[in-house]
């Protein structure tokens, strides 16, 4: 039997790859405009980073990590998310000491979680994430959210819903925590084993349970918004105020708690309401994590960020029937007839390629007609024909496929002709 791709992973074939590249490039450009800069961290980290940074009580750490021992006996884990590693690097490389703060970063790359495979949920997926470290200004919460929204809108998504909540500061969270314990404790025997464990460790996570989400006590659970102290309330109102200024619509959703332990104050998700998107509608999740830098050994530093996966963006685009303006890239296809013409073609190809003109030729000894057909299929703008006659005249026949227009261009002028044609097209 032939070997098959591991469950929960995907091959991205060249046609799809173009879409991936487009989304990645678009997102990078948007980050550039907002002055966020790329950071690249390793694919694997010490396991402890995630158990501390993501949190021992989370599903990710408890059930989903790809953890292995290396040959030196160290426990390493394929990264399940990006924030912990970015914060590790921020602390380790002392980025907090740089004169320009906040430190505005973005990253992209594969993440790994041992999850049950379904549409929109993979075991290897590519996240694009943003982190702003070193500012506790509600305007930066709004900036981060607007960066996500504008990235999605710029990619053509329209049916978006921004859900936002505040988890408050430590004092508010503690008050809410106690209220949750009081609420769930008398009935905790009706909940799943995980929730029983969460009751004392992190009762907020009960609200996020995938097993018990229909239990009646979930609907009546105390809302964090009723437990926000004055400062937390004010902070939240300011964030919402900036969103209003930016014209970004939102829904306050007091049940929104993020799966990771380190969030406080602002928590948000961007969902797709497109029909046909499927049961998983979250495109992007993020929020504020003011204790994380300290937890990972750095100075007290506030942070906020989000991540989305390219996979879910593609699903949302498909559900909205949006296509990306992926450019066809072939400028010219050269048809050479005979040995000598082929040598000429090989040389011309190199000259043009080095000048940024994308071009190709046949490598399968196809007949001329088949080569024209191939050029058509590849959507080449021009076909350049070089035969014996052309060699003698030192000219090539250049045919524009869209119109059938045909001209002779001297070999010496071919490059500038193609360059000009490309410029006009763009
Ligand atoms: P999280 O780190 O769980 O808050 O996820 C942030 C975002 O990453 C989600 O909103 C999704 O866009 C994406 N994501 C998380 N898990 C997966 C997965 N298993 N497959 C594809 N995308 C995912």
Consecutive 10-residue runs of the chain (426 residues): their mean pLDDT? 94 94 98 98 97 84 94 97 97 97 98 92 97 97 98 97 94 91 93 89 84 89 94 97 98 81 87 84 93 93 97 96 86 96 97 96 95 94 96 97 95 96 83
Please, are residues 409 and 343 in contact by the beta-carbon 8 Å criterion? no
Quick one: which atom of ligand 1 is closest to the CA of 123? 19
- 131 CB under 6 A from ligand 1? no
Q: Which atom of ligand 1 is nearest to the CA of 313?
A: 12
Q: How remote is the CA of residue 309 from the centroid of ligand 1, in Å?
A: 6
Tell me what pLDDT residue 258 has. 67
In a 13 Å sphere around the CA of 290, the CA atoms on its Cβ side amount to 16
The per-residue pLDDT for 260 is: 61
Q: Give the nearest ligand 1 atom to 80 CA.
A: 2
The phi-psi region of residue 121 (left if phi > 0; otherwise alpha if psi is between -120 and 50; otherwise beta) is beta
Whole-angstrom Cα distance, residue 161 to residue 195?
29
User: Got the DSSP string for 201-216?
Assistant: H-GGGGGG-SSSTTSH
pTM for the whole structure: 0.91
Does residue 166 contact residue 228 with C-beta atoms inside 8 Å? yes
Which protein residue has the closest C-alpha to ligand 1 atom 2? 81
Supply the pLDDT for residue 58: 81
Count of beta carbons in the 10 Å neighbourhood of residue 282: 14
- Please give the structure tokens belonging to residue 263: 């969030």
- CA distances from residue 154 to 25, 28, 276 in whole angstroms, order as listed: 12, 12, 21
* 115 Cα nearest atom in ligand 1: 19
Q: Can you read off the two tokens belonging to residue 81?
A: 């998310």
- At 409 the pLDDT is 97
Is 77 touching ligand 1 by the criterion CB < 6 Å?
Answer: no
Cα(348)–Cα(384) distance, rounded to whole angstroms? 10
- CB proximity list for 363: less than 8 A, separation 6 or greater: none
Number of Cβ within 10 Å of residue 99's Cβ equals: 4
Q: Give the pLDDT confidence score for residue 257 in this predicted structure.
A: 80
> Which residues are 284's β-sheet partners?
270, 308
Give the tokens for residue 89.
């690097």
Q: Which of 145, 260, 312 to mutate for ligand 1's pocket (most ligand atoms within 8 Å of CB)?
A: 312
CB 52 within 8 A of CB 297: no
Please report, in angstroms and rounded to a whole number, the separation of the first and last CA atoms in the chain.
49
Q: Decide whether any atom of ligand 1 lies within 6 Å of the 125 Cβ.
A: yes
Mutate to test the pocket of ligand 1, among 82, 307, 313 (most ligand atoms within 8 A of CB): 307
Q: Is 256 in the pocket of ligand 1 (CB under 6 A)?
A: no
């Amino acid at each position: 039997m032939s070997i098959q791709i591991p469950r929960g992973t995907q091959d991205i074939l060249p046609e799809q790859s173009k879409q991936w590249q487009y989304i990645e490039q678009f997102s990078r450009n948007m980050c550039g405009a907002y002055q966020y800069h790329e950071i690249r961290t390793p694919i694997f980290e010490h396991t402890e980073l995630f158990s501390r940074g993501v949190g021992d009580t989370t599903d990710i750490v408890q059930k989903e990590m790809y953890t292995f021992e290396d040959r030196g006996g160290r426990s390493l884990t394929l990264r399940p998310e990006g924030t912990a590693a970015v914060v590790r690097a921020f602390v380790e490389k002392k980025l907090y000491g740089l004169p320009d703060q906040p430190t505005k970063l973005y990253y992209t790359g594969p993440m790994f979680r041992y999850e049950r495979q379904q549409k929109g949920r993979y075991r290897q997926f590519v996240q694009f994430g943003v982190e702003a470290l070193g500012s506790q200004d509600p305007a930066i919460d709004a900036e981060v959210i607007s960066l996500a929204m504008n990235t999605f809108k710029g990619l053509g998504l329209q049916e978006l819903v921004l859900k936002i909540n505040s988890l408050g500061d430590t004092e508010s969270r503690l008050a809410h925590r106690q209220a949750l314990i009081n609420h769930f404790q008398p009935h905790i025997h009706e909940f799943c084993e995980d929730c029983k464990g969460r009751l004392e460790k992190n009762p907020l996570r009960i609200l996020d349970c995938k097993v018990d989400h229909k239990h009646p006590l979930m609907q009546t659970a105390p809302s964090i918004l009723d437990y926000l102290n004055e400062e937390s309330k004010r902070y939240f109102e300011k964030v919402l105020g900036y969103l209003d200024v930016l014209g970004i619509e939102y829904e306050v959703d007091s049940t929104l708690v993020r799966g990771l332990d380190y969030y406080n104050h602002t928590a948000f998700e961007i969902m797709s309401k497109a029909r046909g998107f499927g049961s998983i509608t979250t495109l992007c999740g993020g929020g504020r994590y003011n204790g994380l830098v300290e937890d990972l050994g750095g100075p007290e530093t506030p942070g906020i960020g989000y991540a989305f996966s390219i996979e879910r963006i593609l699903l949302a685009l498909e559900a909205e029937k949006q296509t990306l303006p992926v450019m066809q890239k072939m400028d010219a296809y050269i048809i050479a007839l005979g040995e000598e013409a082929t040598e000429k073609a090989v040389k011309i190809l190199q000259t043009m390629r080095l000048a940024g003109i994308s071009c190709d030729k046949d490598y399968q000894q196809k007949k001329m007609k088949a080569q024209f057909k191939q050029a058509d299929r590849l959507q080449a703008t021009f076909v350049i024909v070089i035969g014996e006659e052309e060699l003698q005249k030192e000219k090539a026949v250049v045919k524009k496929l869209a119109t059938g227009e045909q001209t002779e261009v001297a070999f010496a002028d071919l490059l500038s002709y193609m360059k000009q044609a490309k410029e006009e097209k763009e």
